[in-house]
């Protein structure tokens, strides 16, 4: 199963159509080739180095909370 992870845009390089995103302090460069009108502060769903689409901050936070809950449940299994 593949997952796209929400991350916040912290830098944009328009010349290369790339952005730097951050998730819990981890920074990653991603391609913006598939998404238009991205601005610093936006949240993007990121998968294998590509931004797939923009999401609201609320949706991004809820998704990250669900991933954290799944990780806790996985750790609780024998």
**What would the pLDDT profile of 42-77 be if each residue is shown by its tens digit?**
999 999 999 999 999 999 999 999 988 888 887 665
Alpha helices in the chain (DSSP H): 57-76
CATH number for the 5-76 domain, one of 2.60.120.10, 1.10.3720.10, 2.130.10.10, 2.30.30.140? 2.30.30.140
- CA 6 – CA 19 distance, rounded (Å): 13
Mean pLDDT, the chain, rounded, equals 92
- Provide Rg for the chain, Cα atoms: 13
Q: Tell me, what's the pLDDT at 76? A: 61
pLDDT at 27 over 60: yes
């Amino acid at each position: 199963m593949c997952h796209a992870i929400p991350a916040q845009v912290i830098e944009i390089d328009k010349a290369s159509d790339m952005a730097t995103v951050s998730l819990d302090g981890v920074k990653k460069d991603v391609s913006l080739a598939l998404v238009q009108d991205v601005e610093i502060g936006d949240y993007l769903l990121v998968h294998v180095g590509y931004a797939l689409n923009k999401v609201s901050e609320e949706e991004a936070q809820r998704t990250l909370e669900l991933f954290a809950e799944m990780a806790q449940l996985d750790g609780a299994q024998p």
